[in-house]
């Protein structure tokens, strides 16, 4: 009886939105045609309003945003896909402010000065941890079978403290890895994960401005104050940190010096070695726990693959209320990322309005605490509440939409990583858009900097939408100029607000491509696969085991 | 021509409907979704909205949420200047007051009396002779005149709260105007007679307790800016508690009991007392920013309109009860706001294009005294003569599904037939007027306590959706029992929140009646008309 009423209502609601020829159109076209600029504008205006106070995790503005997203899911009668039958997936957060003490004991004991020589933080959620272990130099700290590279070969680092270089050997030899294009093996987060997989008790990363792509001031700025992360089970790794270039020189002098070790580590067949010194360190941390939520809903698929899903997501958090700039202290995050959240909700509404139920389910998700370090997506990938990772066919992430106007092109990061790239290109083509590659984004490591990434790391093919830059009715270079202006003057500033000239034409183009890509994945006989040689291929295999 | 006009009139009056309109009413009713109702209530009544206080952050969030929903539906902004928002020009004032008999001890503010300044002044003091004016009512239609020709110019009048009908049901039965019992009317009437000050004597039984009245007047009073001028010559006004009034009157050699008994008798005339009072008050004033949120679904003949309203404000953050200080107002009136939004969505998704435009209105500042609707009446988005009807949702029935349903006010106009037909289409019986719940609605004066009252006084026919009397197979009075339980334990308390059992299917069922009625009123050949014997009529 209730189902009958539901069907009637869907038919009724269809009649006003879809032209009579709808039944002959491909399902993906029907969904794309139901993407509404009115809907997107409504959500965008609400979420970026001053009343939302910048949507910071754990604040009332953040909570209002989460409640808003849940209300929209509920109104659309989507199935709750968070914890315990709700739309909310708990993201338990811990913040630690470290006060470390450390010294290196070789022939003599050399005390290290916090901030000048090193930074160090606890990898456990405890207020006091200590470690004493032999130091081992492990080159770039990379294990990459697809590049035939293993810095840990023949090294036993269990219970020891590894010293590693950041970036990859490709930095100095364009024939190795992807040259200067940053692969995940170059990221500091990877170095920590690999050290933990090898059973190390500690890791010190050698800082140079070139390899890190930022100076020592950025290191002390980022890792001496409050650090926020997802609550995690304690593993073997107890502490992690950075060593300044000068301190590294001193430490590595007896083993031949930083320059020669870097050179050696950049050659295939490099073997790491113990450093004949020990690290003794204690980290006291001021600990604060709090909670935020991913907001998650599912449009159930139809048929035997309904248990699998495609995720369309975007983070809803931003920086909240902070330092005033020109008298404005509300960091509205209109583009970053009220716009992606609005586009995600608009996609959800398009699916519901069109009445399309593809074979695989579609999961709509507003990610929490992205700005604090991809915490919501990390928590989801670590503990998916309803659909296990093996059944998540793909993640399509929207972070900063194009509110600047119609374009002739479109882009995404992660195109080359998996077969999703082809599906995205085909979807773009159906919308009359060509796909451009944004090389600059690849060098900056854009693929590692939004919420699709924790899924990729866990083996789920993923991509993140980017803007095209070839704007209709604008001179060549105008798009790049806007991009540069945004980055310089509004990105992560209170001035990331809705500007009077913003329009939804471009974002609707983007959202139509996203729903088409999602439909392509949802309707495809098999899940997308990682490109051969992608650094996520192994994780992809593990995921399906 | 004549015949067909008569035929249409007949159709409207007897409540039959052409097949096509029946079909679109069915479509609209079906498109009202319980999921939407639940979603909006859960958002608006969540603690994150902080009780939607007038002029507070939570109220602002609620208004913006409603605007986002209107925008999403592709409705037209109808708040003026192309926005969703109509500013409600509010002024909040806090008073410090004193009252004493000349040469006598000062009364205790709060326990004995509360005073205020009805005008714009920041301070005023009145010394004058006292006249007891009974209930302070002039009701020519009931043959009642408490003032007769007594000269109260420059004097201080004392009037009893309520009406003689509170104690003797042979007076002031409906359809007489029922606002005669309230403070505002009595002060206004005293002003029309030239009094310099007016105090209402609180004497139970009355709608509110003394402590509720005293608390309200010791706190901030929020009113329309224009609302602070209607006092006319009355410079100071207020309430006096019964024991204090008794003491004052005894000093004049008379007694309150004797005067009150006399005031019940037809032909009573005001009594000058051998008593002089000094009344004074000071005010601290601020402006309170808040809005109505208004949207329009354009009709085929957009000159005329019908309106579906619901107030979105509640009491905000207040005195904690059991550790909870957020007055969520889930029923009052997240529910009605959600119902209004769900109906707006149903009109859009079902694709109906009614004859008249439909205005969807979320009123602000209702709890402060129907101020959002009063501001709308002062600056209506359509001329009031062209506004065919106002339907109001305040306190949706989320308690339990009833077999019957009632609409206060519909029986006074041609909306009666539309309501009966809509109720029947949803399988409801009409609640009998003598049923316990209807008696309660009258005793509690629900009709004058929500935004429809603002429209009634401007001559616009109204209907207010009420609870029914029988829940499921339960006996008569079960609906009233559920309402009594709500009124006693949750009404205007922090416990009117999402933790109480809320039946969204029941709420959806009842809202569908108003969705049908709204469409019928929008499509009706003629504007809604008051019945001839109604005390309300459109202005000439």
> What is the pLDDT tens value at each position of chain A, 545 positions in all?
344 444 444 444 444 444 444 456 899 999 999 999 999 999 999 999 999 999 999 899 999 999 999 999 999 999 999 999 999 999 999 999 999 999 999 887 888 999 999 999 999 999 999 999 999 999 999 999 989 999 999 999 999 999 999 999 999 999 999 888 888 999 999 999 999 999 999 999 999 999 988 899 989 988 988 888 999 889 999 999 999 999 999 999 999 999 999 999 999 999 999 999 999 999 999 999 988 999 999 999 999 999 999 999 999 999 999 889 999 999 999 999 999 999 999 999 999 999 999 999 999 999 999 999 999 999 999 999 999 999 999 999 999 999 999 999 999 999 999 999 999 999 999 999 999 987 767 766 778 889 999 999 999 999 999 999 999 999 999 999 999 999 899 999 999 999 999 999 999 999 999 999 999 999 999 999 999 989 899 999 999 98
Give the number of other Cβ atoms within 10 Å of residue B540's Cβ.
4
Please report the ipTM that was assigned to this predicted complex: 0.85
Mean pLDDT estimate for chain B: 92
Q: Which of A168, A162, A172, A173 is nearest to A186 (CA)?
A: A168
Name the nearest CA neighbour of B243 among B230, B229, B255.
B255
Residues of B with CB under 8 A from a CB of A: 27, 30-31, 33, 35-36, 38-40, 42-43, 46, 48-49, 57, 60-61, 64-65, 67-74, 348-351
* Banded model confidence at residue B5, pLDDT cuts 50, 70, 90: very low
A71, A321, A346, A504, best to mutate vs chain B, most B CBs in 10 Å: A71
Residue A22: other Cβ atoms inside 10 A: 17
How far apart are the CA of A264 and the nearest CA of chain B, in angstroms?
A: 58
Neighbours of A93 (CB within 10 A): 23
Pairing status of strand A434-435 against strand A409-413:
parallel
Question: For residues A117 and B280, what is the distance between their CA atoms, to the nearest angstrom?
Answer: 74
Number of neighbours of residue B446 by Cβ within 10 angstroms: 20
Which residues in A253-282 are b (16+ Cβ under 10 Å) and which e? eebeebeebbebbbeeebebeebebbbbbb
| Structure-token pair, residue B50 | 């902080």
Identify which of B185, B194, B187 has the alpha carbon closest to the alpha carbon of residue B151.
B194
What gap in Å lies between CA A401 and CA A424, rounded to an integer? 16
Q: Which residues of B touch A15 (CB under 8 A)?
A: 350-351
Mean pLDDT of B443-468: 93
Stated as kind and residue range, the H or E segment containing B38 is helix B34-44
The size of the A-B interface in CB pairs under 8 A is 81
CA dist B395 and B397 (Å) reads 6
Residues of B within 8 A of A9 (CB-CB) are 30-31, 33
Show residues of chain A in contact with B35, CB under 8 Å: 74-77
Cis (ω within 30 of 0) for the bond into B216?
Answer: no
Rg of chain A over all Cα atoms, to the nearest angstrom? 24
For residue A358, the SS3 value is: coil
At residue A309, the pLDDT reads 98
Query: Which tokens belong to A128?
Result: 């006091």
Q: Which residue of A has its CA nearest to B71?
A: A42
Over residues B395-424, mean pLDDT: 95
Contact B36 A43 (CB under 8 A): no
- Smallest CA–CA separation between A289 and chain B, in Å? 20
Percent of chain B with pLDDT over 70: 94
d(CA A218, CA A225): 12
Of B27, B43, B351, the CB nearest to A71: B43
Number of DSSP helices (H) and strands (E) in chain B, helices first: 15, 21
Q: How far is A45 from chain B (nearest CA, A)?
A: 7
Q: Identify from A22, A75, A350 which residue to disrupt to test chain B contact, counting B C-beta atoms within 10 A and taking the largest count.
A: A75
Average pLDDT over residues B276-299: 96
Point out the least confidently predicted range of A23-37, A218-232, B3-17, B317-331. Answer: B3-17
- Residue B481 CB coordination number (10 Å): 16
Are A76 and A362 a contacting pair, CB within 8 Å?
Answer: no
CA–CA gap between residue B313 and residue B291 (Å, rounded):
10
Q: Distance between CA atoms of B423 and B411, rounded to whole angstroms?
A: 13
pLDDT at A39: 98
Yes or no: say if B467 and B507 are a contact pair by the CB < 8 Å rule: no
pLDDT at B216: 87
Q: How confident is the model at residue B17 (pLDDT cuts 50, 70, 90)?
A: low
B72/A42 touch (CB, cutoff 8 Å), yes or no: yes
Residues of A within 8 A of B43 (CB-CB) are: 67-68, 70-71
How far is the alpha carbon of A410 from chain B, nearest alpha carbon, in Å? 26
Distance from CA of A368 to the nearest CA of B (A): 17
CA nearest B384: which of B461, B329, B442, B298?
A: B461
Residue B149 pLDDT > 60, yes or no? yes
pLDDT at B177: 59
**DSSP-derived secondary structure for A36-63:** -HHHHHHHHHHHTSGGGGGG-TTSHHHH
Model confidence band, residue B24 (pLDDT cutoffs 50, 70, 90): very high
User: Which residue of chain A is at minimal alpha-carbon distance from B345?
Assistant: A13
Q: How crowded is residue B65: how many other Cβ atoms within 10 Å of its Cβ? A: 27
Contact at CB, A12 and B349, closer than 8 angstroms = yes
* Counts for chain A of helices (H) and strands (E), in that order: 17, 20
Separation between Cα atoms, residue A455 and residue B59, nearest integer Å = 39
Interface touch A12/B60, C-beta < 8 Å: no
Residues A204 and A163 sit within 8 Å (Cβ to Cβ) = yes
How far is Cα B136 from Cα B231, in angstroms, rounded to an integer? 15
Return the bridge partners of B77, or none.
B295
- Check: CB of residue B325 under 8 Å from CB of residue B491: no
**CA pair distance A353, A342, nearest whole angstrom:** 16
DSSP track, B385-454:
GGEEEEEE-SS---S--BSEEEEETGGGBTHHHHHHHHHHHTTPEEPPTTSHHHHHHHHTTGGGSSTHHH
B35 with A77: Cβ contact below 8 A: yes
pLDDT interval class at B14 (50, 70, 90): very low
Instruction: Kindly report the nearest CA distance between residue A345 and chain B, in angstroms.
Output: 11
Name the residue in chain B with its Cα closest to that of A87.
B39
| β-strands B156-160, B123-132 pairing | parallel
What are the C-alpha distances in Å from A96 to residues A320, B379, B425? 19, 56, 62
Inter-chain CB proximity A51 and B57 less than 8 Å:
yes
Cβ B351–A70 below 8 Å, yes or no? no
Beta bridge partners of A285: A98
Which is it for strands B236-241 and B197-202: parallel, antiparallel or unpaired?
Answer: parallel
Q: How do B404-408 and B429-430 pair as beta strands?
A: parallel
Nearest to B42 among A41, A64, A71 (CB): A71
The answer to whether the CB of A145 falls within 8 A of the CB of A536 is no
Please state the rounded mean pLDDT for residues B297-315: 96
Tell me how close the Cα of A388 comes to any Cα of chain B, in angstroms.
27
Query: Across residues B327-347, what is the average pLDDT?
Result: 98
Q: How far apart are CA A485 and CA A416, in angstroms?
A: 28
Residue B29: asked if its preceding bond is cis (omega within 30°), the reply is no
A80: Cβ–Cβ under 8 A, 6 or more apart, which residues? A73, A86, A87, A296, A297, A298
Mean pLDDT of B118-141: 92
State the smallest CA–CA distance between residue A272 and chain B in angstroms.
Answer: 55
Q: Tell which of A10, A13, A295, A348 to mutate to test the B interface (max B CBs under 10 Å).
A: A13
- In angstroms, what CA-CA distances link B109 with B102, B114, B218, B248, B250? 17, 6, 9, 15, 20
Residues of B in contact with A16 (CB under 8 A): 348-351
Both tokens of A502, joined, read 């913003």
Q: How far is CA B169 from the centre of its chain?
A: 23
Measured CB to CB, residues of chain A less than 8 Å from chain B are 5, 8-9, 12-13, 15-17, 36, 38-39, 41-43, 45-46, 49, 51, 60, 63-64, 67-68, 70-77, 349
Q: How far apart are CA A386 and CA A309, in angstroms?
A: 10
Q: Do residues A258 and A252 make contact, with C-beta atoms less than 8 angstroms apart?
A: yes
- Specify the pLDDT at position A337: 97
Q: In chain B, which residue's Cα lies nearest the Cα of A52?
A: B61
Q: How far is Cα B468 from Cα B476, in angstroms, rounded to an integer?
A: 10
What is the dihedral sign for C-alpha B170, B176, B182, B188? negative
CA distances from A200 to A161, A211, A248, A308 (A): 6, 22, 19, 36
């Amino acid at each position: 009886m209730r189902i009958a009423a539901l069907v009637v209502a869907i038919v009724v609601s269809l009649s006003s939105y879809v032209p009579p020829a709808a039944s002959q159109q491909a399902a993906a076209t029907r969904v794309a045609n139901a993407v509404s600029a009115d809907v997107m504008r409504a959500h965008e205006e609400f979420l970026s309003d001053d009343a939302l106070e910048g949507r910071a995790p754990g604040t009332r503005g953040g909570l209002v945003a989460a409640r808003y997203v849940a209300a929209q899911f509920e109104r659309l009668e989507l199935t709750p896909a968070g914890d315990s039958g709700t739309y909310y997936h708990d993201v338990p957060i811990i913040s630690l402010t470290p006060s470390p003490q450390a010294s290196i004991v070789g022939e003599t004991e050399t005390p290290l000065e916090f901030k000048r020589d090193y930074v160090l933080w606890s990898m456990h959620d405890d207020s006091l941890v200590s470690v004493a272990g032999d130091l081992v130099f492990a080159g770039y700290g990379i294990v990459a079978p697809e590049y035939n590279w293993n810095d840990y070969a023949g090294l036993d680092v269990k219970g020891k403290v590894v010293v590693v270089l950041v970036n990859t050997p490709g930095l100095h030899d364009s024939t190795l890895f992807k040259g200067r294009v940053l692969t995940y093996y170059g990221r500091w987060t990877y170095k920590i994960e690999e050290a933990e997989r090898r059973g190390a008790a500690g890791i010190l990363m050698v800082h140079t401005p070139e390899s890190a792509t930022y100076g020592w001031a950025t290191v002390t700025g980022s890792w001496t104050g409050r650090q926020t992360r997802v609550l995690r089970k304690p593993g073997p790794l107890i502490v992690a940190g950075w060593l300044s270039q000068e301190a590294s020189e001193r430490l590595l002098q007896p083993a031949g010096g930083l320059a020669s070790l870097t050179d050696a580590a950049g050659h295939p067949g490099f073997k790491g070695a113990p450093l004949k010194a020990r690290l003794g360190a204690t980290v006291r941390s001021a600990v604060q726990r709090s909670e935020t939520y991913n907001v998650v809903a599912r449009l159930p698929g139809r048929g035997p693959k309904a248990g699998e899903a495609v995720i369309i997501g975007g983070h809803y958090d931003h920086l909240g209320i902070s330092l005033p700039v020109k008298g404005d202290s509300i960091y509205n995050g209109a583009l970053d990322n009220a716009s992606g959240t609005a586009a995600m909700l608009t996609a959800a509404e398009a699916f519901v309005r069109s009445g399309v139920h593809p074979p695989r389910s579609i999961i709509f998700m507003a990610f929490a605490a992205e700005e604090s370090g991809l915490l919501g997506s990390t928590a989801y990938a670590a503990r998916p509440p309803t659909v296990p990772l093996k059944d998540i066919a793909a993640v399509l992430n929207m972070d900063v939409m194009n509110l600047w106007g119609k374009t002739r092109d479109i882009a995404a990061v992660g195109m080359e990583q998996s077969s999703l790239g082809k599906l995205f290109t085909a979807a773009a083509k159906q919308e009359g858009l060509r796909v451009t590659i944004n090389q600059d984004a690849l060098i900056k490591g854009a693929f590692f900097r939004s919420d699709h990434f924790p899924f990729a790391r866990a083996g789920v093919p993923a991509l993140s939408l980017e803007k095209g830059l070839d704007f209709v009715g604008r001179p060549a270079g105008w798009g790049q100029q806007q991009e540069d202006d945004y980055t310089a003057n509004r990105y992560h500033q209170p001035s990331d607000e809705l500007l009077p000239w913003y329009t939804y034409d471009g974002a609707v183009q983007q959202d139509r491509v996203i729903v088409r890509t999602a439909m392509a994945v949802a309707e495809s006989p098999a899940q997308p696969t990682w490109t051969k040689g992608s650094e996520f291929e192994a994780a992809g295999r593990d995921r399906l085991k | 021509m004549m015949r067909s006009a008569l035929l249409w009139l007949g159709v409207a009056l007897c409540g039959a409907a052409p097949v096509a309109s029946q079909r679109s009413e069915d479509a609209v009713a079906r498109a009202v979704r319980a999921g939407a109702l639940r979603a909006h209530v859960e958002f608006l009544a969540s603690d994150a909205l902080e009780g939607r206080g007038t002029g507070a952050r939570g109220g602002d969030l609620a208004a913006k949420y409603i605007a986002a929903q209107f925008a999403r539906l592709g409705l037209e902004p109808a708040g003026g200047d192309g926005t969703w928002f109509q500013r409600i020009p509010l002024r909040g004032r806090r008073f410090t007051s004193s009252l004493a008999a000349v040469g006598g001890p000062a009364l205790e503010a709060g326990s004995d009396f509360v005073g205020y300044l009805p005008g714009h002044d920041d301070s005023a003091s009145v010394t004058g002779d006292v006249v007891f004016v009974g209930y302070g009512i002039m009701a020519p239609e009931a043959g009642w005149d408490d003032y007769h020709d007594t000269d109260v110019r420059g004097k201080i009048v004392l009037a009893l709260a309520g009406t003689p009908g509170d104690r003797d049901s042979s007076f002031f039965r409906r359809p007489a105007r029922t606002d005669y019992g309230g403070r505002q009317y009595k002060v206004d009437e005293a002003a029309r007679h030239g009094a310099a000050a007016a105090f209402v004597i609180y004497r139970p039984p009355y709608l509110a307790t003394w402590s509720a009245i005293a608390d309200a007047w010791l706190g901030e009073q929020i009113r329309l800016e224009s609302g602070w001028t209607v006092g006319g010559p009355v410079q100071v006004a207020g309430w006096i508690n019964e024991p204090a009034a008794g003491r004052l009157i005894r000093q004049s050699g008379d007694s309150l009991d004797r005067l009150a008994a006399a005031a019940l008798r037809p032909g009573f005339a005001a009594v000058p007392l051998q008593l002089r009072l000094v009344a004074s008050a000071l005010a601290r004033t601020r402006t309170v920013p808040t809005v109505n949120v208004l949207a329009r679904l354009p009709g085929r003949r957009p000159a005329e309109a019908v309106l579906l309203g619901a107030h979105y404000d509640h009491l905000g953050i207040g005195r904690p009860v059991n550790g909870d200080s957020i007055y969520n107002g889930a029923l009052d009136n997240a529910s009605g706001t959600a119902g209004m939004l769900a109906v707006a969505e149903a009109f859009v998704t079902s694709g109906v294009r009614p004859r008249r435009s439909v205005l969807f209105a979320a009123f602000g500042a209702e709890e402060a005294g129907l101020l959002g609707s009063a501001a709308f009446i002062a600056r209506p988005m359509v001329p009031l003569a062209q506004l065919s009807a106002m339907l109001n949702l305040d306190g949706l029935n989320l308690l339990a599904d009833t077999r019957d349903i009632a609409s206060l006010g519909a029986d006074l106009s041609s909306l009666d037939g539309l309501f009966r037909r809509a109720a029947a289409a949803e399988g409801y019986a009409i609640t009998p007027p003598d049923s316990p719940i209807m008696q309660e609605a009258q005793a509690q004066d629900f009709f004058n306590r929500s935004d429809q009252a603002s429209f009634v006084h401007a001559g616009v026919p109204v209907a207010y959706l009420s609870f029914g009397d029988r829940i499921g197979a339960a006996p008569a009075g079960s609906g009233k029992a559920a309402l009594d339980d709500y009124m006693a334990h949750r009404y205007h308390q922090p416990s009117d929140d999402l933790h109480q059992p809320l039946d969204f299917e029941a709420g959806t069922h009842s809202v569908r009646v108003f969705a049908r009625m709204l469409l019928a009123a929008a499509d009706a050949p003629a504007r809604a008309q008051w019945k001839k014997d109604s005390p309300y009529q459109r202005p000439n």
